Structures are given as structure tokens and as C-alpha cells.
Amino acid sequence: MDKFDVIVIGMGPGGEAAAGRLLDAGRRVAVIERELIGGECAYWACIPSKTLLRGPEARAEAGRAAGVATPALDWAGLRDYRDYMIRHLDDTAQISGYEQAGATVIKGAARIAGPGKVEVGGQLLEAGHIVIATGSQPLRPAIDGLDQVTVWTNREATTVRDIPSRVLLIGGSAVGVELGQFYARMGAQVTIVQRAGTLIDREDPRVGELAAQALAADGITVRTGRAPVRARPAGDGTVVTLDDGSQIETDVVILGLNRAGVQLDQGGAIPVDERCRAGDGLWAVGDVTGVALFTHVAMYQGRVAADNILGRDRAAAYQGIPRVVFADPEIAAVGLTAAQAAARGISTATAEISLADAIARPWTYERDPRGTLGLLADRDRGVLAGAWAVAPLASEWIHQAALAIRAQIPISVLLDQVAQFPTYSEAYLTALERLGLSTRSA
Ligand SMILES: Cc1cc2nc3c(=O)[nH]c(=O)nc-3n(C[C@H](O)[C@H](O)[C@H](O)COP(=O)(O)OP(=O)(O)OC[C@H]3O[C@@H](n4cnc5c(N)ncnc54)[C@H](O)[C@@H]3O)c2cc1C
């Protein structure tokens, strides 16, 4: 039996972060991956989707900036660059990279065979620590006839070669909104059906409203508060019936639903403590923990688990984790929603500002400037509890609120902090003043 200090099962961002840190510290590490090193994120999720969105986004930006002719889209060029970015679905370089770093790389589906024991391809391995980083699976909704029509998950949707004419997205979360905007901007007729009353329902309802407005401007039909109940083939396409009896004709149904954390035996998310410990010598990181299904969280947990394995006691803190939908304009949020704060009995103050009314950057950036910022403060503690923005570049400037929330920076200090003129970051000052807590501090 081969013996290691640590066995990492699943080499997506969570597994990679853990393995990299453990190898750097000189540990004997085996990494096991049943598909491609890099995981869902690198080949079928974050990387291809953000790459595909950028071309249409740049085109739309040029249309909004003064004095620029709108450039043409080049699907073949964008598709080639997407293929380059997903390494043509080839992880040969990653395998040799890990081998050179000292890891034993094993391709195959692993199974826990007992405490400290892992079985893969008939081979039994043993280690003091096992890190499970096996990711999540797309949820398949219970819709009559779905198995008889063309259905894509994120995999087909992000490796697409020919843009379909009509697309129906089931689910209006981050994945549904991003893919919906991409396909619409590439010329498809897009409908998004969302069971919840608003899009991106993990956020404040106002965020969903603003997202729906942005998608409507791209010609996307958004049906919230509705669920598909039946699907049937019709000619070359599909007809999907919703729970109000209305019907949508489409060429392809794309599942844009939230994903489910699934463990090795398909048993659901693995509960972990704040150190990412799942049991004695057993650790879990990333989507499989169900904590927050993001790459940055998977990598963070990978670092936390590795540090604990290395004897550097470390607890994870999730208060300042940003949540971004890479639509245009970008949708970014951090901390609590108003409903979550109310459920915790926090006394709050809120502010919402239109960026065009408050600061100069939106006007220098584009004609007909867009953007809204919302803040949520804890009145008693004099700190920010949450923030959201639907605005250009919001994925970048949300990090100020993220740090303020994580470090509990008093609002009195935030009010005294100066942002570069003219930037989107200046909006925080106006919004903070609008909270009406200016004389309080923690
Ligand atoms: C379309 C789309 C876009 C997204 N965009 C973003 C984004 O922009 N930003 C963001 O933060 N997040 C994004 N996400 C979410 C992000 O992809 C995940 O949160 C992230 O991939 C989780 O990393 P992970 O390491 O937990 O799992 P994964 O990336 O899923 O990797 C898990 C790995 O484990 C392997 N594995 C599973 N079981 C076994 C087994 N038994 N034996 C061996 N190997 C196994 C799998 O093959 C896989 O390679 C997006 C998701 C989707 C679907």
C-alpha cells in the first residue's frame, strides 16, 4: 500500500489550493482527479463563461462610450480564444506541473475505503490526512419529458460551437443570468424562467429588479415566479409548458440552476467545522461543503485546511466574501441582505444611491450612465453589515465593502477615507452619508 502525508481527492480550485500549499511545505502528497486537473471552474464554468462574456461586453461598452464606433463580434475568434483558455480540455501540462512539484498524480475516481484509506482504480492508498474537494453537480429539475428534449448543462453551454437561435434558461441565478446575457448578445432569442419572485434571489430583491432591467435592455424575456412543468419535442425544437399554462418554444433548454454539493458517494454536502475539518484526519473544501459555491471560497478553504494540516491553527471567516454575477453591468454583493439582518435581530439603516446623481466617473465612463449602490449598516455597532452594487466594474470596487465588513471598520473611519477622483469607489462616501449614522462609531 502506498503511503502519503496527505491525499487530495478532486483537483478543482479547492483541491489545487490545498495541494499546492502542502507541496510547498514539503509534504508527501497524492492528488487524485477523475477528469481534468483544474476542475469545473477551469474548463466548464468560471473561465469559459467569463471569457465568452468579455467579447460581447467590450462591444456593448464601445457602444456606450462617446466617440467610438461599435466593433463587430467575431464568434470564430472568441470561440478560439475560449478554447485556448480552457486548454483545449487538455491537462497534460497540469499533470507534469504537479509531478515536478513532487506530487503523485493519479487519474481515476477515488473512494474512501476506511479511515485514512482511499481506493482508486483498484489501488489502495494510505495517508494521515484526506482532503475531499470533489465539487458539486448540476441539479436536474423534475420536469415531465425533460429527458426527451435537448438539454444543456453548464458544460455544453460553455463549450458551445454554434449559437442556437432560441435558448430557454431554467434558473435565474448567477449562471442563468450570465449565460442568458451571453447568448442574447450573440444573437439568440433568450427566455429565463425563474421560480423565485426575483432574479438572483440570494440577494436583496432590489438587486434582482435591477438585473431584470439590465437583461430586458438586451431583449431577454424574464419570467419570474414561474416554473416549467412539461417539455416535449416539437419539430426541430422543444416546447416547454410553464405552471401558468403558457408555452415557450426553444431550440435548447439550458439548466442554469444552483448546484448541489455532492460527496464521493453522492450523499449531499459534507458538513465541516470552521477549520474545514470533516472528521478525524478528514477535511473537505470547496463546493462539496455547501458553504458558498464559489471558486474563491474553494481556494480559501483549501488554504485553511492545508494550514490546519500543517499545524498552523486557522479558522475560516466568511463575512467578507464577495458574490459577483459577471453580467453587464456587473452585479456584486457582500455581507448580509436586509432580510438576513432582520432575521438576526440586527437594527439596520439602509441607503441606495444612483451613481449618476452622486459621482463623476459614470459620466466620463459612458453616455447615459448606469449604476446603483446599496448599503446596509448595523446601527448599534456603527459598521457596515452588507453592500451591493449593480454597476460597471462593481466586481472590483465591491472589495472595499468586503474589507470593511470583514474587518468591522467603523463607519466613522469609512467616512473619513478618501477615494481617488473620479472613480466608482467615490460612491461609497455619498451612500455612507445617506445612512445618516455619520457621528457614530464602533
Ligand atoms: C457556469 C458557471 C460559472 C461559474 N462562474 C464562477 C465565477 O465566475 N466565479 C466563482 O467564484 N465561481 C463560479 N462558479 C462556481 C465554481 O465553478 C465552483 O464554485 C468551483 O468550481 C468549485 O471548486 P471545487 O474545487 O469545489 O470543485 P470543482 O471545480 O467542481 O472540482 C472538483 C473536482 O473533483 C473531481 N472529482 C469529483 N469526484 C471525484 C472522485 N470521486 N475522484 C476523483 N476526482 C473527483 C471532479 O472531476 C472535479 O475536477 C461557476 C459555476 C458555473 C457552473
Q: How far is CA 424 from CA 367, 398, 429, 430, in A?
A: 15, 10, 11, 11
Mean pLDDT of 223-240: 96
Which of ligand 1's atoms lies nearest the C-alpha of 38? Answer: 49
Q: Please state which of the ranges 244-253, 258-267, 312-321 shows the lowest mean pLDDT.
A: 258-267
Which of ligand 1's atoms lies nearest the C-alpha of 16? Answer: 25
pLDDT at 437 (0 to 100) = 86
How far is it, in rounded angstroms, from Cα 2 to Cα 120?
12
To the nearest 10 degrees (0 to 180), the angle between helices 46-64 and 75-85 is: 140
**Sign of the dihedral defined by the CA atoms of residues 221, 226, 231, 235, in that order:** negative
Residues with CB under 6 A from ligand 1: 9-15, 32-35, 39-41, 45-46, 49-50, 109-110, 133-135, 154, 158, 175, 264, 286-288, 293-296, 298, 326
| Cα dihedral 227→230→235→237 (10° resolution) | 40
**Sign of the dihedral defined by the CA atoms of residues 218, 224, 226, 229, in that order:** positive
Which of ligand 1's atoms lies nearest the C-alpha of 36? Answer: 49
Q: How far is the CA of 246 from the centre of ligand 1 (A)?
A: 35
Which are the contacts of 119, defined by CB distance < 8 A and separation ≥ 6? 110, 111, 112, 113, 125
pLDDT in tens, 278-320: 999 999 999 999 999 999 999 999 999 999 999 999 999 999 9
Q: Are 338 and 386 in contact (CB under 8 A)?
A: yes
Q: Are 435 and 411 in contact (CB under 8 A)?
A: yes
pLDDT at 263 (0 to 100) = 67
Backbone angles phi, psi at 174, to 5 degrees: -55, -45
